[in-house]
């Protein structure tokens, strides 16, 4: 029986193929570029460590040969890949897209690649996605938030014990017992700040419009903080859930319903996110209300539309890209031992709606 071909370079980063398959090999690229196979492999892992002239020759050879590295072969050889896996609730949401952009930019500069999945705000789906992502033997796994199923926690702890860095982003809780690094802010505190802003402007009948998404616990926690601060100040406060559907339309419908309740009509409304808040502002204007004279409105997220309405929507502005960048620092080991729980600022942006 013929001996099987060597399939993996010594450092695990590059595959070699049988000549008859027609696919370019690492040696083909090296020969065309006039360098060693080890140099090509090093370039594929960390382009920045190779001299510019050599890098240009390798890029030209890669383009000419159409060479594609076999990532799974690299994992088999080294036990660790060049992949960092990230799990967010919603890939279409600009908040998470910008966080992934910040994360990806820093990882790419270090020669790592980002593999992304979405949980759809479901902890059960999150568990299934974590299991699937760990099947790629990632160098690190970044997960959104700190509320997980027992099964997910078991998977994460086993991965961490096996050398995979685990980081929770978009949340920060000093009493968290899960033992994972965190990058984010406290959502109860964020809700409290919205209430305190409205109270400081004389509002005494406050309502929090919650997200209709069942698994959005961060929005629930902001609502908890909002209600606690208003109650502590002796104000009237209550919570309603936005109707299901597109969030701007849902925010508009929620505002119209709130104003239609003559017995419990609020003088201030905080929305779980800016999509709901922008919809509420449009709903108020459709009713002929003066904002903020008849009702003050605030949101969360600092979405682009919030700044362009008239009046602009007062909101909290989480540092979306910074969260991704600081998470990358922890993955790359540049965050420092004392910074395993990094709290970022979430400033209030005051506009005309409040």
The answer to whether 81-185+320-344 and 187-316 have equal CATH topology is: yes
314 and 158 Cβ atoms separated by less than 8 Å: no
For a pLDDT cut of 70, what percent of the chain falls above it? 88
Model-level pTM?
0.80
122 preceded by a cis bond (ω within 30 of 0): no
The pair of three-digit structure tokens given for residue 161, joined into one six-digit string: 């014990």
- What residues are paired with 241 via a beta bridge? 210
- Topology (CATH) of 187-316: Rossmann fold (3.40.50)
- What residues are paired with 300 via a beta bridge? 316
User: What's residue 9's pLDDT?
Assistant: 40
Per-residue pLDDT tens for 164-212? 999 999 999 876 667 899 999 999 999 999 999 999 999 999 999 999 9
Q: Quick one: which of 187, 207, 200 has its CA closest to 271?
A: 207
Please give the Cα distance from 111 to 229 (Å, whole number). Answer: 46
User: Which of 41-45, 212-216, 305-309 shows the lowest mean pLDDT across its residues?
Assistant: 41-45
Per-residue pLDDT tens for 252-261? 999 999 999 8
- Topology (CATH) of 81-185+320-344: Rossmann fold (3.40.50)
Domain boundaries, the chain: 19-76, 81-185+320-344, 187-316
pLDDT level of residue 66 (50, 70, 90 thresholds): confident
pLDDT at 71 over 80: no
Q: Is 228 exposed, middle or buried (0-12, 13-18, 19+ CB in 10 A)?
A: middle
Q: At what angle do helices 52-65 and 37-45 cross, to 10 degrees?
A: 100
| DSSP for 282-294, written as a single string | HHHHHTT--TTTT
CATH number of 19-76: 1.10.260.40
Query: If you search the block for the tokens 């799990």, which residue do you land on?
Result: 87
């Amino acid at each position: 029986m013929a001996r099987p071909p060597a399939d993996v370079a010594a450092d695990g980063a590059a595959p070699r193929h049988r000549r008859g398959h027609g696919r370019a090999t690492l040696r083909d690229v090296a020969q065309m570029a006039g360098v060693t196979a080890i140099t090509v492999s090093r370039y594929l892992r960390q382009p920045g460590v190779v001299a510019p002239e050599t890098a240009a020759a390798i890029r030209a050879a890669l383009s000419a040969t159409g060479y594609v590295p076999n990532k799974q072969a690299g994992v088999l050889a080294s036990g660790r890949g060049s992949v960092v896996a990230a799990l967010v609730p919603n890939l279409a949401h600009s908040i998470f897209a910008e966080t992934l952009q910040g994360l990806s930019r820093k990882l790419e500069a270090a020669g790592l690649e980002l593999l992304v999945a979405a949980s759809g705000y479901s902890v059960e789906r999150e568990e299934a996605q974590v299991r699937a992502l760990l099947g790629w033997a990632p160098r690190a796994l970044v997960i959104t938030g700190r509320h997980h199923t027992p099964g997910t926690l078991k998977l994460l702890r086993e991965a961490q014990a096996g050398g995979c860095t685990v980081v929770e982003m978009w949340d920060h809780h000093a009493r968290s017992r899960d033992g994972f690094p965190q990058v984010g802010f406290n959502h109860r505190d964020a809700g409290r700040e919205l209430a305190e802003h409205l109270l400081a402007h004389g509002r005494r009948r406050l309502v929090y419009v919650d997200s209709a998404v069942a698994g959005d616990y961060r929005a629930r926690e902001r609502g908890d903080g909002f209600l606690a601060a208003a109650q502590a100040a002796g104000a009237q406060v209550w919570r309603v859930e936005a109707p299901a559907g597109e969030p701007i339309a849902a925010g508009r419908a929620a505002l119209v319903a709130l104003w239609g309740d003559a017995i419990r009509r609020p003088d201030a409304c905080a929305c779980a996110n800016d999509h709901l808040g922008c919809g509420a502002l449009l709903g108020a204007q459709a009713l002929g209300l003066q904002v903020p004279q008849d009702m003050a409105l605030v949101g969360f997220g600092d979405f682009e539309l919030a700044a362009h309405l008239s009046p602009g929507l007062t909101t909290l502005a989480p540092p979306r890209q910074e969260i991704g960048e600081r998470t990358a620092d922890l993955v790359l080991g540049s965050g420092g031992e004392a910074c395993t729980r990094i709290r970022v600022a979430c400033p209030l942006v005051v506009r005309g709606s409040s």
